[in-house]
Structure formats: structure tokens, C-alpha cells
Chain A
Amino acid sequence: MDEQADEVEVSIVIPCLNEENTIGDVVEKAWQALRGMKVSGRSLSPIMAPPTVPLRLPGPGARGSWEWQ
């Protein structure tokens, strides 16, 4: 684990199943909240089951998992 990762102050964890229509907006709000708190943050989205529609996530990262510093 690198030094920068150790500095993560807030993690936001969002469980998903079939919320492909809303997850984008939800992650966007989570991102805004993190920026508002002026913290380094992380958002993970563990997938309970394979989504029927590929997720289109804002921000960098592969499907379901991404991180801001």
C-alpha cells in the first residue's frame, strides 16, 4: 500500500445489484460530498451480481471501482 493511499480519510461504499440507471448520479453526488468535505476520498462499488447493463461510471476507474485523491 503506497503512502498516498494511507492518507485516504473518507471511503464511500455503495453496494449495487441492478442500479445501472441511478449509480452514475449517486456516484456523482458522493464525489461532490467528498469535494465539499475537502478530504481525500475513495468510492468503491462492489457488485453483488453481474449487472445486466454495463455501468457507465463518472470519473476514472474500471467498472464498479474507482478512486479520487
Chain B
Amino acid sequence: MKGYGSALRGGIGAARGRYIVIGDADDSYDFLEAPRLVASLREGYDLVIGSRFRGTIVPGAMRWSSRIGNPLVTAILNLLFRSRLSDSQSGMRAFTQAAWNRMRLQSTGMEFASEMLIQARKAGLRIAEVPITFHPDRRGRPPHLHPIRDGWRHLKLMLTYSPTVLFLVPGGLMVLLGLLLMGVQLLAPMDQPLWLGRIRMDFHWAILGSLLTLSGYSLIQAHFLAKIYSVTHRFQEQDRILEVGFRILTAERVLLMSLLAILLGLGIDGWVLYDWMTRGYGALVSGHTRLVIFGSTLIALGIQAFFHAFLFSTLGDAYKRRPLV
């Protein structure tokens, strides 16, 4: 058993109490304050956090890096998971055995603290904060915390638990921007570059648009893969978008759409080839290049979607067969 999360999971798994209190062994948290946390559980809360920022931080108890890092991590967690916590990294907490069973935590390291709050939010648990006092630890050794490494592990965990923010939002924005860049290029006359007022936008912008579209599409695919993994491995109960997606975007429909995209792309590229031949195999104008970029992007998207249709069909079967909670 190695790591903060592993140690706690092992201990909590062996605990038999209806209420469970956790806290560090370095005497920085005062267990004499534990009854106030347990009192909140008795009032009906499922998880109670001892908040140092709503309570007292004794001078010398918290390093400056933690004074900056803790509120930052808490703010990101509040933003991503719509909570209103003041101290997401507090090590002093109390929760019911029933709440623990619903959270199903996996983390082995320090990010255990964030995962507990994320899972509690996802499970719809009632969370409260109780002000506590944070004391300097008396071990006489350097702290276990590594601000950069641990901060990154918390951030990585939060993003992993939020595939919409990690994949779907940037992916969607990239596809929209990419299509816009390619689309406006098609408005220009064949033998001239695009002029937006006094700004000349040559076909290079269409290349950037193609890159963004293809990359964004990959991110959107990653979003749905992450969601399927999350549901089939019971990190979350269900996902409404996935349910609708599997119902509407059947493998047959996606295959048909991908073939249409490939055919349209081949048609565009084929027309450019034909036009080039009829012009006596000479130089092409910028309009041809723009069309080839657009057509080739459609072909690439179509090929990806064609094969992803089979992959998602297989994963969709696993999704439908997932054990009911």
C-alpha cells in the first residue's frame, strides 16, 4: 500500500463506523474539532469538509505556495463541478459510510482529496463545510507535498473527470473555427485571393482551417470515448448525450454520412483535376487550391468517421450491456 489515497482507502475500507473521520497524523489538524464535523453528519449531510480558509490558519502553518495553490485548485474544482467550496484540499473530513460506498474512489495519491469532492458532487451528496483551525505540523521534517507535482496531479484528475471541458469544448471550437476559415475562403473568386477589407487572406488560412477541423474532430471523438469509458467503468451512472447519440447516430447512419462526405470530397477534388486537365495541365489558380483543401478535408473526415462507426458500434454494445446500478 503506497500513497495518501491508497492508505486512506485501505483504512476506510476496514473501518466499520457509521461515520468516518479522516485527518493527518502530523498534528496540523486538531481532532478535538472532529465532533463538530460529526454533528453536521448527524444533521443530514453526507460529507463535511473542515475548512481552513473559513476558519483559522495559524501563522507558519501553511506555506505561501499552498496559500496560492489551494484556492486556485479549489476555484478550478468549483468551476468545473459547480460547487461552492472554500477549501478543497483540506485533509480533515467526515462522511457517512453510505456516502463512502457511493463515491467509489480510485486515486492512490494526493489527488484523492479532489476526487472525493468530484465524486461526491457527481453522486449528488450533501456537502457542508465547518471552519477549523490549521496548525503548524510538528514532525520536524519537510512536508510530503510537492506544490508543482501535486498541483498538476489534481488538475489532471479534474480534467480527466470533466471530458466536456477537456475534449468537447476545445474540439467543438476548433471544428467551428476551422470550418469558418475554410468556408469563407470558398467565397473568394477562383482566380483571386480572399480580401476582407484591406486584409488579404490567401489559401494558407484554409490549410489552417483544415488542420483545426481535423484536430477538433479527433478531440470530439476522444470526448465520446472518455464518456463511454466513464459510464462502462461506473465512474458515472449515465450520460444523457451518449444515450441520445447512440439512439440517433446508429452505425448505419454514420457509415452513410461518412460515405457521402468521402464522395463529396472526391467530387470536389475530381472537378479540380478535371479543370486542371482541360486547362492543359498548366498552373492552377488559388481557387483550385482552396477547393482541394476543402475536398481533401471532407475525405479525411469521412474516412475517420467510417472506421469510427464500427468502433463506436462495438463500444455501444458494451455501453448497453453495462451493469445497472
Contact = CB atoms under 8 A, between A and B. Distances in A.
B7 A18 contact: no
A42 B4 contact: no
B39 to A, nearest CB: 9
A25 B33 CA distance: 14
Contact of B4 (A12, A15, A32): A15
Interface residues of A, number: 35
Interface of B: 1-4, 6-8, 10-12, 14-27, 30-35, 38, 137-141, 144
Closest 8 CB pairs of A and B: A11-B17, A11-B15, A15-B7, A19-B25, A13-B11, A46-B11, A29-B31, A30-B31
A44 B11 contact: yes
Nearest to A65: B14
Interface in A3-41: 5-6, 8-19, 21-23, 25-26, 29-30, 32-33, 36-37, 39, 41
B8 A44 contact: no
B25 A9 contact: no
Given A21-B139, A22-B137, A25-B27, A11 B16 contact: yes
Contacts of B21: 10-13, 30, 33
A36 to B, nearest CB: 6
B16 A8 contact: yes
Given A13-B11, A21-B138, A46-B8, 11 more contacts: A9-B17, A12-B21, A13-B20, A13-B21, A17-B7, A21-B140, A22-B27, A22-B138, A23-B25, A30-B21, A39-B38
A62 interface: no
B46 to A, nearest CB: 15
B26 A19 contact: yes
Given A29-B31, A36-B35, A13 B16 contact: no
B136 to A, nearest CB: 11
B92 to A, nearest CB: 10
A16 to B, nearest CB: 5
A22 B139 contact: yes
Nearest to A23: B25
A46 B7 contact: yes
B94 to A, nearest CB: 9
A46 B4 CA distance: 10
Given A19-B139, A32-B32, A48-B4, A13 B22 contact: yes
Contact of A26 (B1, B27, B38): B27
A46 B12 CA distance: 9
B257 to A, nearest CB: 52
A6 B31 contact: no
Most buried by A among B2, B10, B21, B30: B21
Nearest to A32: B32
A29 B32 contact: yes
Interface centre among A26, A30, A39 (most CB of B within 10 A): A26
Nearest to B35: A37
A42 B140 contact: no
Contacts of A21: 138-140
A45 to B, nearest CB: 7
B15 A45 contact: no
Contacts of B38: 10, 37, 39
A49 B2 contact: yes
A29 B34 CA distance: 10
B27 A17 contact: no
A49 B53 CA distance: 31
A17 B8 contact: no
A60 B86 CA distance: 38
